[in-house]
């Protein structure tokens, strides 16, 4: 086993271990992938101010996100098909997050169900909802999330119309994946992955199969998925869902200050500045560039989180210094999971924690809550 010191090391192992179609599903953006690339590269444009001779004894990355204690403000983002990257992937990622002390968010489009994850963890996790046309299904899944003790609802607002990733179309990837000859050939080259998958006993797409009208097995899922994302989602509906849920609410997919004001008007507990990891509107601003104007618009009214392009603890520090109270990682944790299962997700969290802690100290700060723009050198054209 090679010595792993970065998240990028894990990405390389992941790329070798998992079938190409699942790697591509993760490591791609919509259309030209401009926003997907910008999400990462715009972080590199921000430089740090080195400070010296500041006592750094007793520093800490611990803080709170929506009032909940976190060992560092880095949550695992909702990622669909996580259980295809590693058998029982959602359970493995949730367990790694819980042991580390950071939130895990389960996607509507997960392989393991809410109940599967709840049965294998001891602390509450967060549940992410895609709003579907079938209101009975939505009411049912919210109830299931409440029954499982989920402590926040992450409501995704930027995927009522599906963006297109060319690589997925070319690979024939759908939910569920279709087993065509090229797909089977591709899968059969990855023995380790295949053997591991054979061992899983979970019901696939357990949040939906057996719970949505007309979806009794995985083969009936793809038609349902294609027609169910509800394009009529509007702010009234968001308000109704907030009432229906009744608990902590995080609105995900805000990229514009005007929308951020609306989200604050709704009374959300937090918003996630996000472009869905560059998987929806190609050409949209990177998340880190969008963040400052949103902080100016609503920073005093709602807690602001951000995701998109975060691959290192330095990226986390930059986001916090620009006014975010919390961050999320999507692809970064999938790299670890696909490379080494639960231990890989733990490794990602350890690497990022060390990077965050060391960078914070070398910038002369002792706590994540004390990070501000003063430690950054931001390009003039940044916002
Ligand atoms: C996602 N994302 C996502 N978001 C969501 O609300 N529900 C979902 O089911 C998914 N599924 C999903 C699958 C994959 C493979 C990826 C990469 C992303 C978006 C995700 O929550 C998050 O916004 C981005 O992943 C953040 O960008 P980075 O960290 O991946 O650069």
- How far is ligand 1, taken at its centre, from the CA of residue 79, in Å? 5
Which residue bears the tokens 């989200």?
Answer: 263
Parse the chain into domains and list their residue ranges.
7-373
Q: State the pLDDT at residue 152.
A: 98
Q: Is the CB of 25 under 6 A from ligand 1?
A: yes
Residue 307's beta-bridge partner residues? 328
Taking only the tens place, the pLDDT of each residue in 190-248 is 889 999 998 888 889 999 999 999 999 888 888 898 899 999 999 999 999 999 999 99
Q: How many angstroms does the Cα of residue 292 sit away from the middle of ligand 1? A: 21
Residue with CA closest to ligand 1 atom 5: 78
Q: Is the CB of 95 inside a 6 Å radius of any atom of ligand 1?
A: no
Mark 40-52 as b/e (b = at least 16 C-beta within 10 Å): bebbebbeeeeee
Catalytic residue from among 120, 166, 211, 276 = 276
- pTM (whole model) above 0.80: yes
- According to the model, what pLDDT value does residue 223 have? 86
Confidence of residue 124 (pLDDT cuts 50, 70, 90): very high
Instruction: Name the residue of 15, 77, 308 to mutate for ligand 1: max ligand atoms within 8 A of Cβ.
Output: 77
Q: What is the mean pLDDT of the chain?
A: 95
Instruction: Please give the backbone phi and psi of residue 368, each rounded to the nearest 5 degrees, phi first.
Output: -65, -30
254 close to ligand 1 (CB < 6 Angstrom): no
Task: Report whether residue 310 contacts ligand 1, using a CB cutoff of 6 Å.
Answer: yes
Q: What percent of the chain has pLDDT over 70?
A: 100
What spacing in Å lies between the alpha carbon of 80 and ligand 1's midpoint? 7
Contact 183, 17 (CB under 8 A): no
pLDDT tens profile 85-108:
999 999 999 999 999 999 999 999
Is 164 marked as a binding-site residue?
A: no
In this structure, the residue with its CA closest to atom 15 of ligand 1 is 26
Q: Does domain 7-373 sit in CATH 3.40.1030.10?
A: no
pLDDT tens-digit map of 10-44: 999 999 999 999 999 999 999 999 999 999 999 99
Report yes or no for ipTM above 0.95.
yes
User: Is residue 276 in contact with ligand 1, taking CB distance under 6 Å?
Assistant: yes
Active site residue 276: yes
Question: At residue 383, does pLDDT exceed 80?
Answer: no
pLDDT digits (tens, 9 = 90+) for 172-192: 887 777 777 777 777 778 889
- 1 has a pLDDT exceeding 90: no
pLDDT of residue 327 exceeding 90, the answer is yes
User: With contact defined as beta carbons under 8 Å apart, do 272 and 308 qualify?
Assistant: no
- State the angle between helix axes of 331-362 and 89-100 in degrees (0 to 180), rounded to the nearest 10: 20
Closest by Cα among 129, 203, 137, 117 to 160 = 129
> Are 275 and 299 spatial neighbours (Cβ–Cβ below 8 Å)?
no
103 labeled part of a ligand binding site: no
């Amino acid at each position: 086993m090679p010595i792993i010191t970065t998240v990028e090391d894990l990405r390389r192992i992941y790329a070798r271990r998992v079938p190409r179609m699942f790697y591509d599903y993760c490591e791609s953006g919509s259309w030209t992938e401009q926003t997907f690339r910008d999400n990462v590269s715009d972080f590199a444009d921000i430089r740090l101010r080195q400070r010296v001779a500041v006592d750094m004894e007793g520093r800490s990355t611990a803080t709170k996100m929506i009032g909940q204690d976190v060992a560092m403000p880095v949550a695992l983002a909702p990622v669909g098909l996580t259980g295809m990257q590693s058998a029982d992937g959602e359970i493995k990622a949730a367990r790694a997050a819980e042991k580390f002390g950071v939130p895990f968010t389960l996607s509507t489009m997960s392989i393991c169900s809410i109940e599967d994850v709840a049965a294998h963890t001891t602390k509450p996790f967060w549940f992410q909802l895609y709003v579907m046309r079938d209101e009975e299904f939505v009411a049912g899944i919210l109830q299931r999330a409440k029954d499982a003790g989920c402590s926040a609802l992450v409501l995704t607002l930027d995927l009522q119309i599906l963006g297109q990733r060319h690589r997925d179309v070319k690979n024939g990837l759908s939910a569920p994946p279709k087993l065509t000859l090229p797909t089977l050939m591709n899968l059969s080259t990855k023995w380790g992955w295949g053997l591991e998958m054979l061992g899983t006993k979970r019901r696939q797409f357990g949040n939906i199969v057996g719970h949505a009208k007309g979806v009794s097995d995985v083969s009936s899922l793809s038609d349902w998925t294609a027609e169910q994302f509800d394009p009529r989602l509007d702010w009234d509906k968001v308000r109704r869902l907030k009432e229906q849920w009744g608990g902590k609410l995080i609105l995900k997919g805000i990229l514009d200050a005007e929308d951020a004001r609306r989200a604050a008007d709704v009374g959300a507990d937090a918003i996630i500045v996000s472009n869905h990891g560059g998987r929806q509107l190609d050409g949209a601003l990177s998340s880190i560039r969008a963040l400052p104007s949103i902080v100016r618009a609503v920073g005093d009214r709602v807690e602001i989180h951000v995701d998109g392009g975060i691959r290192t603890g330095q990226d986390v520090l930059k986001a916090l210094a620009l006014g975010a109270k919390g961050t999320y990682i999507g692809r970064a944790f999938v790299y670890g999971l696909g490379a080494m299962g639960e231990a890989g997700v733990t490794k990602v969290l350890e690497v990022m924690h060390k990077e965050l802690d060391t960078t914070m100290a070398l910038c002369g700060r002792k706590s994540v809550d004390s990070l501000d723009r003063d430690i950054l050198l931001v390009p003039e054209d940044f916002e």
